[in-house]
Amino acid sequence: MFKYSYLLALLQITSLHFFAQDSSMIRKIYDEALLRGRAYEDLRSLCKDIGPRLSGSSEAEMAVRWSESKMKAYGFDTVYLQPIMVPHWERGNPETAWLSTPTTTPYKLNIKALGGSISTNGILEGEVIMFDHLDDLKKSTRSVVEGKIVFLNQPMNAAEIQTFKAYGACYPIRGNGAVEAAKLGAKAVIIRSLALPLDDHPHTGSMRYEDSIPKIPAAALSTLDCEYLARALQADSKAMITLEMDCRVFPDAPSFNVIAEIKGRKQPKEIITFGGHLDSWDQGEGAHDDGAGVIHCMEALRILKTLEYQPVHTLRVVFFMNEENGNMGGKTYAKWVKEQGEKHIAALESDRGGFTPRGFGCDGNPKVFERFSSYKNLFDSYDLHVWEKGGGGVDIGPLKNEFKDITLFGFIPDSQRYFDVHHAASDVFENVNKRELELGAAAVTSLIYLLDKDLFR
């Protein structure tokens, strides 16, 4: 009995010692991020000196060189580029569209082509038919739809507290709308922007075609104009839209993932990857999606180096290219590291914007998740309260196919404002709050520290 009590007391003392040690390190991390951080200035430079960074564009190439130069300036152990091939789609000349009805004057619409859409090959005109839900379109018939422009006016569900759930439920109108409309003979499809606020900003994003189905032009309409169009269709029996889009598809282009490392002192061949995607859509500046994410992760490596932390495992930051319209960065990286014979034990992604941090998700086995959940006590004073099952991201997802036992983590900030700017011209540096961005960088750094020192020791 005495021996058992002694061991229990020893374990409690040891646990308290490590808790105090970790708590002290996390405080240092937050102090560095908030008092001497580089995140805000680095994001400003990425957004303002380069701007939007669609895969295959000259701006994307500039961003690669900017990232490589910045990482080298921070003195990380290794900085290198991983060659990949990426899709190359361009919007071309600005889109134009207007609405006309028998009882109103022409009304100009705020519209943007969806990523990957074909052009209209000049001016396209057609009668509009509205559906409130994609399922309603699927239930319709060719005799009703053929030769018309389909308008999918399906809104994101504002009752969802977690806005990513609302986005996920509504995504099919963007991803599959053109295919479903073309099956019934439509000449084009226009979708309600995947956004919660009512404003004039159309939100672009990727869509797809099927080789067996005719390709038709696809575009997103601002939510305010969707409201106007819906009212016009209710007031008049017939409404026409005139649309012109100059989209172009080019052969795949060479590009790169940008990679930086600090080598592990005990397990250098075991890798913890963390990153986000360097590319963005061609609207706005890609500030939240995903400039904030890549800056979170580069800042994490910088902070750990500045604090002279010696990692157990190799810590690797990856700026992935082409998440938005193909994910060739993530897919190529996963296959490449497997072929190199590397051992990947964990990966974390930040791709939900630079808003106030709320916590993390963990896609790991029960033992890993239990340990991960225990970190919550360390972060009570930092207002991180979300420690949930499930995590990862588009870029790091392919690693799960190559390393079955890898644990994936996702950074979770507050989601309420993300879809105000997602894939829109409003996703600019001015809409990123400095303190929120720095708090996010500190949270990501702290979890990487704990994963390396404790969770996978």
Give 135's contacts (C-beta < 8 A, 6+ positions apart).
none
CATH T-level assignment (fold) for domain 92-246: Glucose Oxidase; domain 1 (3.50.30)
Task: Return the amino acid letter for 316.
Answer: R
Arithmetic mean of pLDDT, 109-132:
98
Identify the pLDDT of residue 13. 43
> What are the tokens at 98?
């207007």
Identify the pLDDT of residue 6. 44
Arithmetic mean of pLDDT, 42-66:
98
> DSSP letter string over 142-205?
HHHHTTSEEEE-----TT-SSHHHHHHHHHHHHHTHHHHHHHTT-SEEEEE-S-SS-SS-----
Asked whether residue 51 carries a pLDDT value surpassing 70, the answer given is: yes
Task: Residue 163: count other Cβ atoms within 10 Å of its Cβ.
Answer: 22
14 — pLDDT class (breaks 50, 70, 90): very low
> What are the tokens at 234?
């209710």
Task: DSSP letter for 36, please.
Answer: H
3-state per-residue secondary structure call for 273-313: EEEEECCCCCCCCCHHHHHHHHHHHHHHHHHHHHCCCCCCE
List pLDDT tens digits, range 287-325: 999 999 999 999 999 999 999 999 999 999 999 999 999
Same topology between domain 29-89+251-455 and domain 92-246: no
Asked whether residue 395 carries a pLDDT value surpassing 60, the answer given is: yes
Instruction: Please state the domain extents for the chain.
Output: 29-89+251-455, 92-246
Active-site option among 180, 323, 349, 438: 323
Arithmetic mean of pLDDT, 31-39:
98
Of 3-17, 199-213, 361-375, 423-437, give the lowest mean pLDDT range.
3-17
Instruction: Output the average pLDDT for the chain.
Output: 95
Asked whether residue 11 carries a pLDDT value surpassing 80, the answer given is: no
Report the alpha-carbon angle 14-389-26, nearest 5.
40
List pLDDT tens digits, range 68-87: 999 999 999 999 999 999 99
Q: For residues 221 and 201, is the Cβ–Cβ distance under 8 A?
A: no
pTM here is: 0.94
Identify the pLDDT of residue 18. 59
Q: For residues 456 and 345, is the Cβ–Cβ distance under 8 A?
A: yes
90 classed as catalytic: no
Q: Provide φ and ψ at 141, rounded to 5°.
A: -125, 160
Task: Residue 23: count other Cβ atoms within 10 Å of its Cβ.
Answer: 14
Domain 29-89+251-455: CATH class, spelled out = alpha beta
Identify the pLDDT of residue 443. 98
Asked whether residue 7 carries a pLDDT value surpassing 50, the answer given is: no
List pLDDT tens digits, range 367-392: 999 999 999 999 999 999 999 999 99
Percent of the chain with pLDDT over 90: 93
104 — pLDDT class (breaks 50, 70, 90): confident
Task: Residue 221: count other Cβ atoms within 10 Å of its Cβ.
Answer: 26
Q: For residues 283 and 112, is the Cβ–Cβ distance under 8 A?
A: yes
What CA–CA distance (Å, rounded) separates 203 from 195? Answer: 7
List pLDDT tens digits, range 215-264: 999 999 999 999 999 999 999 879 999 999 999 999 999 999 999 999 99
- State the number of CA atoms in the 13 A half-sphere of 314 facing the CB: 18
